[in-house]
Amino acid sequence: MKSWASTRAITGGEKGLQRREPLWQRLHIDPWLLLLVLTLAGVASFVLYSASSMNMAMLYRQGAAYAVGIAVMIVIAQFQPRFMQRWVPFAYVGAVLLLVAVLLIGVQAKGAQRWLSIPGLMRFQPSEIMKLIMPMSVAWYLARRELPPNFKYVCFSLLIIGLPVLLILKQPDLGTSLLIASSGIFAILLAGLRWRYILGAAVLLVPAAVGMWFFGMHEYQKRRVLTFLNPESDPLGAGWNIIQSKAAIGSGGVLGKGWLQGTQSHLDFLPEGHTDFIIAALAEEFGMVGVCLLLVVYLLIVLRGLYIAQHAHDNFSKLLAGSVTLTFFVYVFVNIGMVSGLLPVVGVPLPLISYGGTSLVTLLAGFGILMSIHTHHKWMAQGR
Amino acid sequence: MAKPIHLKDHSKDAGIVRQRLLLAAAVVVLLLLALVARMYYLQVIQFEHHSTLSENNRVHVQPIPPSRGRIYDRNGVVLAENRPSFSLNITRERTPDVPATFALLKLLLELDDEEIERAQRRLMQSRRPFESIPVMFGLDDEQIARVGVNRFRLPGVEVQASFVRHYPLGEHFAHAVGYVGRINDKEMQRIDQVAYAGTHYIGKTGIEHFYEDLLHGKVGYEEVETNARGRVLRVLDRTDPVPGRDLTLHLDSRLQAVAEQALGKRRGAVIAIEPETGGVLAYVSQPGFDPNLFVTGISYADYGALRDSLDQPLFNRVLRGLYPPGSTIKQLIAIAGLDTGTVGRNNRVFDPGFFQLPNHSHKYRNWNRGGDGWVDMRRAIARSNDTYFYDLAHKLGIDRMHEYLTRFGLGTRVSLDMFEEAAGLMPSREWKRAARRQPWYPGETVITGIGQGYMLATPLQLAQSTALIANRGVWRRPRLMMHAEGVLPDESDTPDNIELKNPDDWNFITEALEDVMHAPHGTSRAAALGAPYRIAGKTGTAQVVAIAQGERYDSASLAERHRDHALYVGFAPADAPRVAVAVMVENGESGGRVAAPVARQLFDAWLLPEEEQIDEEEADEVTAEVQP
C-alpha cells in the first residue's frame, strides 16, 4: 500500500525541477507572511510603547525577541517537510518525556511548575515545544491513514493529543493545554472527521458535564467553575481585570483616544496591560477602527496560511499547515474574546503583539513551518 | 462492486482536506465578525457608559468585609463581639510621600517612635492594589478632628469606622475562645485572598481559629466611581456581604467564674465536661491573659511581659499542659485488669508498704509507708494503694495497659474542636524502641500502673477518661461549640465506644470511686463532706522531681515550683452523671486537699439550684436533712 502511494505521487509536477526558481523560493521565505509579520511587529512596537508607559527597555527586549523569532522562522523554513515528517515520532516521544520531567524536577514559579532549568544555561518551557510537535504528530499519524479517519484512528489520535495535554494541565497551565489540544483537534477535523462523530461527541459531552455538575463536584469546585465561566460574578478577583478592560475598550469609541492618551492603561487600572490584556490598551487608544485594522491583518495571515495548506502537495503538509494556521487564529479569538468579556479568562497572549518572547518565538517557528511547506515544491513523494 | 484490495486514494483524501480547509476559512471569517460585533457593542453602543466610567471617573471595586460571627456561652452571654472603632487608613498608591506622611502624622497625633514603627510595619503587609490599610486603631475624637483638619496635607490618608473584635470577658475565656489578630504573611499565602479582601483579622488560636470558616462570613463588594484622588462619587453596584455565623458554646460563664474563684490565685487548669453531650462547661487555664491586647497587634512591652512571665500565662494548660497523670488513672488500670480477666474484684494483695519485682531488690514504695495490709480492688482504689497497682500493672503488662488506656483517649487527641491539642504520651514497647532505641524494662511497667514514668497526659485527657467512665464507655469527643446557627460540630471522627465484657464492671468501678469520696477510708472524703449527692472521684499527685531511692519526700526543702502538682478527676451525681471534672493545680501537692475541693465547688455550682448552694460551715446541717 505504501509503495503504491509513492509511485502515484511521483507522477505529479516535476517540470519545475530544472527551472530557476524565484529568489524567495530559493530562500524558502514566503514574502506575504513575512510582510504581515513585519506589519504586526510595527503595530506591536507602537502599542507596547504606550501600554508599558514608554518603557524603552521593554521595547528593546521585545525587538530582540522578534529578531530571534524571525531567525528561527527562517531556519525552520529551510528544513523540508519530509525531514519533519521523518523525525516527528521521535520528537513527540522526546517532548512528552520533557513534560514528564517538568512535573518531576521542574522549576516552580507563580504557583505553576512549567519550566525545566539547565543550571547555568537557561530555563525553558517544554510545553512551548509541544505546541509545534502536536500538529505535526497528528498530521503524521492521520496522513498515512485513509481519510476520513475511522473510529479506531480517531481514538488513537485523541490519545496522541490527550497525553501531553493532561501533562500540561497538571502543571497547571490551562491556556497552553487548550492551545495544544486545539492544534491536534484541528488536524483531526481537517482530516475530514465525520459529522456523526462530531455530533456524537457533542451529544455525549453534554450529559457527562451535567452529571459531573450534579453528582461529581464539590460546592467549592462548582463555585470555581462559575467564576471561570462568568468572571464578573467575582469582581474582586478575576472579574476586576474584565471590568477594567471592558471600560478601556468601550471608552475608546470609534476612533480611540489617541496614541499615548489612554487613561485606563496609563493609570495602572488595566492589569497585564502590556501582556495578555494589550488589546484593551490598543482598543482604548486606537478605537474600533484600530481594532478592525488589526483584525484585517490577522485575517490576511490566516487566509494566507489556509492558502498554503490548500496548495500543499501532500496530506501531511496540508493537515500541518491548516492546523498551525487555525491554532494561530485560536490565539487571536480566545485572547480578544476574553479581554472583551465574551470568553472565560485563560492565559492566552495576543499573538505577535503581547509582550513576552517565548510565545512569540513559538508562533514565528510555526510560520517557519508554513514557509517550509510552501517553498519546498521539489518534494513530491510521501515519506516512507 | 466488490473491493478486492483496500487502497488509499490520495486524490480523494486531498479533496476531503481541501473541503475542510474552505469550511475553516468560512468559520474564521464568521468568528472574526463576531469579534467585530462585540467591539461594536462595547465601543459604539456602550460608548457613553464606558466613556463616563473611564474618562472623568475611575471605576473601583471595593470589598465590603463581612462582620465576624459573635461567640456566646450557653446562656447567651457574649464572649466575643465586634465593636465599632475608628482606624486611620492609608492607601499607598495615593500617598506620594509615605515617610513625610508618617512624619506629619507623628507630629499631629503625638505618637511615639514605637507606635509609628508599628504603623509603618502594618503598611508593608501584602495587599491588593489600591487597598487601604488600617495602620492605627481606636482613634479618639480629638485625633479624628486633627486628621480631618489636616486632610489636604495628608493625601491617601483617611479615617474609617470599622469593627474590631472585642472580648468583653477578657482573660476569663482567653484560652478557650482564643483571639483574632492581624493576618500575617504566612496566613496570606494560605487563605483565599478574595474571600479576605477588606478583612484584616483572622482567628489565631482557640475557637476563633478552629471555626474560622464559620465565623468569617462571605465578602461583599461595591463597584464605585471615584475621582482621581480616590474619593467615592457614586456607588454603581453593590452586593452585600454575608455575615459570619454566630457560635453558641457549651461553656457556662457562671461555672467558669466558680472554677476560677475556686482555683484562686494558684496556677492550674480546670475542665468540666457534660458526659452525655461531650460539651465543655468550664475551661480554665490559669493564669490567663487579656486577648484584647492581641487583636490590633500587641506592643513589644506587653508581649515580652506575657512571654517572659514565670507563670506562663500564654500557656494553655488544659490543652497543652503535659503532666504525669499519677493516681488519676488507677481506675482505668483496674478496668483493664477486670476486663482482661487478669484479676477478679475480690483478689487481694498484701501491702507491706512496698512492691518488689521477683528477683529484684528495688522497692517500689506505696505512698503510705506503713502499708495498708490486705487490700482488694475496691479498697485499693479508695485508698489509692500503690502496691496493689504495681502488682496489677506487673500482671497486666505494658501491652494491655497501652491498649486499654489508649481506648480511654490517653496518648491521643481527644477534643473535637480545640486547636493545637497536645496528644500526650501513652508509652508502649514500640514507642520506646522508636523514641529511645531501648527495650522496655519490667520496672517501667510497674510504675506505669500508678501513672508515673514516661506517661504524660493533659487535663483535657484526664477529664475525658473520667467522662467515659461516667458515660459507661460511650465516646463523645469534648467540644466547645454547641451549634453555629444550625450548624452542628462534625462528629464523623468519633472513636469506638468502649464495651466491657461485663458491663456491671462500670458500676463496680463507679462504686469504688464513690468510696474515694464517701467511705471513711477514702482519700478525698473531706472534699465530699456534706454533699447532698454522691460523687465518684479520684485524687492524684504528679511528681515534678523524681525522688531518689531511699530519699524521703520533703516538700519544705524543694522550691515551691518543684512541689508536686495536685490532680483530681471525678463526676457527679455518681448514679446519673451530669458533669465530669478534671482539676490540676500546679505545685498544689495534694490532690485530696487542694484539687478535690475545687471540683466540689464546681459540682455544687452545677448540680444545686443557686439558692441551695451552701458554704462549708452550713454543710453538716444540710447533709442531715437531704441525705436519706
Q: Cβ contact (<8 Å) for A234 and B25? A: no
B465: annotated active-site residue: no
Task: Dump strand ranges (E) for B138-182.
Answer: 157-166, 180-182
Inform me whether the C-beta atom of residue B547 falls under 8 Å from chain A C-beta atoms.
Answer: no
Q: Cβ contact (<8 Å) for A243 and B7? A: no
pLDDT at A325 over 90: yes
Angle formed by the axes of helices A357-375 and A315-339, to 10°?
Answer: 150
B273 and B130 within one domain: no
Q: Are strands B268-273 and B280-286 parallel, antiparallel or unpaired?
A: antiparallel
**Which of B215, B249, B283 is the last residue before a domain boundary?**
B249
In a domain, B17, yes or no: no
Nearest CA to CA, how far is A322 from chain B (Å)? 7
**Predicted confidence band of residue A332 (pLDDT cuts 50, 70, 90):** very high
Partnered with residue B249 across adjacent β-strands are: B481
B244 and B105 within one domain: yes
Supply the range of the domain harboring residue B497. Answer: 253-626
Name A106's Cβ contacts closer than 8 Å, sequence gap at least 6.
Answer: A113, A114, A115, A116, A117, A171
Contact A45, A37 (CB under 8 A): no
List the single range of A223-227, A328-332, B97-101 with lowest mean pLDDT: A223-227
pLDDT at A226 over 80: no
Q: CB contacts < 8 Å between A and B, how many?
A: 163
Between the ranges A293-307, B146-160, B582-596, where is the mean pLDDT highest?
A293-307
**pLDDT per residue over B167-224, tens digit each?**
999 888 999 999 998 888 788 778 877 788 888 889 999 999 999 999 999 888 887 7
B203 and B263 within one domain: no
B239 and B185 within one domain: yes
Inform me whether the C-beta atom of residue B242 falls under 8 Å from chain A C-beta atoms.
Answer: no
B243 and B257 within one domain: no
Residue in the block written with cell 511528681: B543
Closest CA to A138 of A91, A171, A173: A91
Percent of all residues in chain B with a pLDDT value above 70, rounded to a whole number: 89
B232 and B317 within one domain: no
Q: Are strands B354-355 and B364-365 parallel, antiparallel or unpaired?
A: antiparallel
Inform me whether the C-beta atom of residue B223 falls under 8 Å from chain A C-beta atoms.
Answer: yes
Q: Cβ contact (<8 Å) for A190 and B21? A: yes
**Predicted confidence band of residue A379 (pLDDT cuts 50, 70, 90):** very low
**pLDDT per residue over B518-537, tens digit each?**
988 888 888 888 888 999 99
Partnered with residue B158 across adjacent β-strands are: B89
Q: Name chain B contacts of A317, Cβ cutoff 8 Å.
A: none
In a domain, B565, yes or no: yes
* Nearest CB neighbour to A326, from listed B24, B63, B93: B24
> From CA A85, how far away is CA A288, in angstroms rounded?
43
- CATH number of the domain within which B549 lies: 3.40.710.10
Contact A114, A359 (CB under 8 A): no
* Between B169 and A222, the higher pLDDT residue: B169
- How does DSSP classify residue B364? E
pLDDT at A176 over 90: no
Q: What is the pLDDT of residue A384?
A: 36
List the single range of A126-135, A332-341, B9-18 with lowest mean pLDDT: B9-18
Nearest CA to CA, how far is A289 from chain B (Å)? 10
**Which of B212, B229, B249 is the last residue before a domain boundary?**
B249
How many other C-beta atoms lie within 10 A of the C-beta of residue A264? 30
Q: Name chain A contacts of B64, Cβ cutoff 8 Å.
A: none
In a domain, B35, yes or no: no
CA distances from A146 to A7, A134, A135, A153 (A): 17, 20, 18, 9
B312 and B270 within one domain: yes
Rounded to an integer, the average pLDDT of B564-587 is 91
Q: Are strands B232-239 and B220-226 parallel, antiparallel or unpaired?
A: antiparallel
pLDDT at B63 over 70: yes
> From CA B283, how far away is CA B591, in angstroms rounded?
19
> From CA A2, how far away is CA A384, in angstroms rounded?
7
Can you give the pTM of this predicted structure?
A: 0.62
Chain B window 97-136: which residues touch A at a Cβ cutoff of 8 Å? 128-129
> From CA B95, how far away is CA B102, in angstroms rounded?
10
Chain B window 450-469: which residues touch A at a Cβ cutoff of 8 Å? none
Q: Cβ contact (<8 Å) for A190 and B17? A: yes
Dihedral angle sign, alpha carbons of residues B260, B262, B267, B269: negative
Q: Name chain B contacts of A342, Cβ cutoff 8 Å.
A: 34-35, 38
**pLDDT per residue over B254-302, tens digit each?**
999 999 999 988 899 999 999 999 999 999 998 889 999 888 778 788 8
Contact A319, A225 (CB under 8 A): no
B227 and B306 within one domain: no
**pLDDT per residue over B426-446, tens digit each?**
999 999 998 888 889 888 899
Name B223's Cβ contacts closer than 8 Å, sequence gap at least 6.
Answer: A235, A243, B59, B60, B61, B62, B235, B236, B237, B238
Q: Cβ contact (<8 Å) for B20 and A253? A: no
Tally of structural domains, chain B: 2
pLDDT at B34 over 60: yes
**pLDDT per residue over B451-478, tens digit each?**
888 999 999 999 999 999 999 999 999 9
* Nearest CB neighbour to B43, from listed A250, A264, A342: A250
In a domain, B306, yes or no: yes
In a domain, B13, yes or no: no
* Between B6 and B616, the higher pLDDT residue: B6
Dihedral angle sign, alpha carbons of residues B313, B317, B323, B325: positive
Inform me whether the C-beta atom of residue B20 falls under 8 Å from chain A C-beta atoms.
Answer: yes
Rounded to an integer, the average pLDDT of A23-31 is 87
What phi-psi label fits residue A110: left (phi over 0), alpha (psi between -120 and 50 degrees) or beta?
left
Partnered with residue B225 across adjacent β-strands are: B59, B234
pLDDT at B447 over 70: yes
In a domain, B584, yes or no: yes
B265 and B177 within one domain: no
Q: Name chain B contacts of A314, Cβ cutoff 8 Å.
A: 10, 14
Rounded to an integer, the average pLDDT of A346-372 is 91
Identify the burial level of B170 via C-beta atoms within 10 angstroms of its C-beta, where 0-12 means exposed, 13-18 middle and 19 or more buried: middle
Residue in the block written with cell 502538682: B565
> From CA B539, how far away is CA A100, in angstroms rounded?
63
B407 and B384 within one domain: yes
pLDDT at A54 over 60: yes
Q: Whole-number mean pLDDT of chain A?
A: 84
Q: Name chain B contacts of A191, Cβ cutoff 8 Å.
A: 16-17, 20
* Between B142 and A233, the higher pLDDT residue: B142
Q: Nearest-CA residue of chain B relative to A342?
A: B38
CA dihedral B296, B299, B300, B305 (to 10 degrees): -110
pLDDT at A381 over 60: no
Q: Nearest-CA residue of chain B relative to A147?
A: B13
Three-state secondary structure call for residue B242: strand
Contact A279, A295 (CB under 8 A): no
Q: Name chain B contacts of A318, Cβ cutoff 8 Å.
A: 14, 17-18, 21
pLDDT at B1 over 70: no
Q: Are strands B247-249 and B71-72 parallel, antiparallel or unpaired?
A: parallel
Inform me whether the C-beta atom of residue A241 falls under 8 Å from chain B C-beta atoms.
Answer: no
Inform me whether the C-beta atom of residue B53 falls under 8 Å from chain A C-beta atoms.
Answer: yes
Closest CA to B602 of B383, B274, B250: B274
B531 and B550 within one domain: yes
Between the ranges A236-250, B101-115, B197-211, B555-569, where is the mean pLDDT highest?
B197-211
Closest CA to B328 of B424, B394, B218, B254: B424
> From CA A165, how far away is CA A182, in angstroms rounded?
10
**Predicted confidence band of residue A169 (pLDDT cuts 50, 70, 90):** confident
Angle formed by the axes of helices A315-339 and A174-190, to 10°?
Answer: 140
Closest CA to B380 of B333, B339, B448, B340: B333
Interface with B, mutate which of A194, A236, A267 (most B CBs under 10 A): A236
In a domain, B615, yes or no: yes
**Which of B227, B249, B271 is the last residue before a domain boundary?**
B249
* Between B620 and B46, the higher pLDDT residue: B46
SS3 for B484-532, per residue?
ECCECCCCCCCCCCCCCCCCHHHHHHHHHHHHHHHCCCCCCHHHHCCCC
**Predicted confidence band of residue B479 (pLDDT cuts 50, 70, 90):** very high
Which ranges constitute the DSSP H helices of B324-428? 330-339, 377-383, 386-396, 398-407
pLDDT at B626 over 70: no
Q: What is the pLDDT of residue A11?
A: 44
Q: Name chain A contacts of B50, Cβ cutoff 8 Å.
A: 246-247, 249-251
Inform me whether the C-beta atom of residue B499 falls under 8 Å from chain A C-beta atoms.
Answer: no
Q: What is the pLDDT of residue B360?
A: 82
Active-site annotation holder among B327, B384, B428, B590: B327
Inform me whether the C-beta atom of residue B219 falls under 8 Å from chain A C-beta atoms.
Answer: yes
* Between B509 and B622, the higher pLDDT residue: B509
- CATH number of the domain within which B199 lies: 3.90.1310.10
Cell (9 digits) for B307: 512571654
Q: What is the pLDDT of residue B7?
A: 61
Q: What is the pLDDT of residue A203?
A: 87
Contact A175, A347 (CB under 8 A): yes
B442 and B358 within one domain: yes
pLDDT at B47 over 70: yes
Percent of all residues in chain B with a pLDDT value above 90, rounded to a whole number: 38
pLDDT at A41 over 90: yes
Q: Whole-number mean pLDDT of chain B?
A: 84
